[in-house]
Amino acid sequence: MPRDTPEITPETLLMAYASGIFPMAEARDDPEIYWVDPKLRGVFPLDGFRLSRSLAKIIRRGGYDVTLNRDFAGTVEACAARETTWINAPIRRLYSQLHADGYAHSLEVWVDRALVGGVYGVTLGTAFFGESMFSRRRDMSKVALAYLVTLLRRREYTLFDTQFLTDHLASLGAIEIPRRQYHTLLADALSRPAQLIGPVPQSSEVMHLRSQTS
């Protein structure tokens, strides 16, 4: 796709999400942003998250804390701290502004007060647009996703957009749908109100995900 030259604002981002497109950069040091509108879209059916036996064991064992919006900047920084990333400086600045405006959110996992996993994204209506996740300890990004899906279900969200489908996401229940179907789901989600607010779920509530996949 051709690159846009006008300045991209937080308002531009929100209009893009509402239109079914999202921003990326070629690399960390690339100052430009381009728009993506894939023919096939990754989504998490909110009633189809696969809580495996091993992940359920980790959640049941505990030893971690889960928070909502405690460290948005740290979560984005951790997501970008990899050899190859599409999160450049303009994207970090824009999402920081969306977070300050109440549209971007992070869910964090902590062990001994250290940030070890998390996920962040944007909300509009009953849609959550997942941007990125990270794990500094094994399976902590999966723990974050399990808690996020539980919270989205509790708050009556209807669409969890993962942008692309990866093997990792597919193993947790994500699927790929055609662009036209995605836009239908998006239009419905945008017509409904919701707020992504706490408290975060207890582990016992997250374990209910196991009953729908066992």
Q: How confident is the prediction along the chain (214 residues), in pLDDT tens digits per residue?
A: 444 456 889 999 999 999 999 999 988 888 889 899 999 999 999 999 999 999 999 999 999 999 999 999 999 999 999 888 889 999 999 999 999 999 999 999 999 999 999 999 999 999 999 999 999 999 999 999 999 999 999 999 999 999 999 999 999 999 999 999 999 999 999 999 999 999 999 999 999 887 665 4
- What gap in Å lies between CA 51 and CA 57, rounded to an integer? 10
Return the residue matching tokens 């789901």.
185
Q: Provide the CA 1 distance to its chain's centre, in angstroms.
A: 24
- Count the neighbouring beta carbons within 10 Å of the beta carbon of residue 35: 16
Which amino acid makes up residue 161? Answer: D
| Contact between 126 and 193 (Cβ < 8 Å) | yes
- What gap in Å lies between CA 180 and CA 67, rounded to an integer? 35
- What gap in Å lies between CA 21 and CA 208, rounded to an integer? 33
Half-sphere exposure of 211 (CA within 13 A, CB side): 6
pLDDT at 83: 83
pLDDT at 5: 52
pLDDT at 210: 72
pLDDT at 2: 45
Give me the DSSP letters along 2-62. PPP-SPP-HHHHHHHHHHT-EEE-SSTT----EEE--SEEEE--TT-----HHHHHHHHH-
pLDDT at 31: 86
Per-residue pLDDT of 131-181, as tens digits, reads 999 999 999 999 999 999 999 999 999 999 999 999 999 999 999 999 999
pLDDT at 186: 98
